[in-house]
Structure 1
Amino acid sequence: MEIDAQKFIDQITDEDFKSTNFTVERANLEQDIKQSVGPMVQFIAEQIQSGAIAQARLEVADADTQFRLETSIINLPLRYAKAISKIMSGDGQQPVNVYMIVESPDVNRSKLRIDEVATADEFVAQQAAAVTRIADWMHEQLAKIDASLAAGTEEAEETE
């Protein structure tokens, strides 16, 4: 799948893309990450097949954490339309990729991590592999968040 960069910029600026939201408790997510990822992957694959730009959000209800899958021409969140416009404006046809995003105050200093899953076409063709890859990635991000929280707790105890 490809899209003209300006058309993409116009769509995200106007928030003219498909979006869906899911919510899960942290314990349920950890118990079966693939179960939470499956509907997100299915939604994104369906939107790619229909030629739409899309975003699937998974809120972790009892934690300050959000996971997203987004289709994009660049590894920036769709809400960064102004920055994307500055970087990609006038670049013509661009391949669309699927990115996995985590936002949490404890994931890293920027509170944001973005990694590419696959090109849009590969994502659709290999959905089962995408579920596994995303689930493994989410598990890694949760471990980083836990490590950061543990380090913060230890630091707070040392200063008391």
Structure 2
Amino acid sequence: MKQNIADLIDQINNEKITVKVFETTMAKLKKDVAKTMQPLYDFVSDQIGKNQLGGAQLLVGEALAIRVETNVVNLPLDEPARIEKFMSDEEEAGVNVYLVAVGEKVNQSGLRIDVVANADEFHEHLTNYETEMNDWVQAKIDAVEGNTED
């Protein structure tokens, strides 16, 4: 899956990227990370299957937000100016799936973002990435609860 950079910035600025929001408590997330996160993974995979960018966000009380999102660069979708600046020389780029954690106790910056896979691989082989993603989420829970930097 490829994405025109100008179109991406336009989609972000005009709120044309579908983002589905879920909510839970830290206790429920800790009890079963895989079950809680699966709808987010499935939603993003479905968006990719429709050849659309998308994201899913899990609000965990006030302590943490976990996002699964598609993008062309290792930056949050809610920062279009930074994406545009970083990708200004590119006309088109491959789309990847990223895991994003936001919360003041996640780390010193309050933000952690890591690439999972390119969008097509994620969509075609989602089950191959689930354990790795769930482990990543668990590490962010541990960081928030222990207030230790990841």
Same fold (TM over 0.5): yes
TM-score when normalising by structure 1: 0.88
Aligned to 1:70: 69
Query: What's the CA shift for 1:90?
Result: 4.3
Show structure 1 runs of 4+ deviating over 6 A: none
Aligned to 2:117: 118
1-structure distance, mates of 2:14, 2:81: 11
SS of the residue corresponding to residue 66 of structure 1 reads strand
Aligned to 1:157: none
How many residues are paired up?
Answer: 149
2-structure distance, mates of 1:87, 1:116: 16
TM-score when normalising by structure 2: 0.94
1:37/1:131 contact within 8 Å kept: no
Q: Tell me the percent identity.
A: 32
2-structure distance, mates of 1:68, 1:130: 15
2:58/2:66 contact within 8 Å kept: yes
Query: What's the CA shift for 1:129?
Result: 2.2
**Structure 2 counterpart of 1:86, which letter?**
K
Query: What's the CA shift for 1:130?
Result: 2.2
1:56/1:70 contact within 8 Å kept: yes
Q: Which runs of 5+ in 1 are unaligned?
A: 152-160
Aligned to 1:59: 59
* 1:10 maps onto 2:10 in alignment: yes
Bigger radius of gyration = 1
**Structure 2 counterpart of 1:9, which letter?**
I
More helix by share: 1
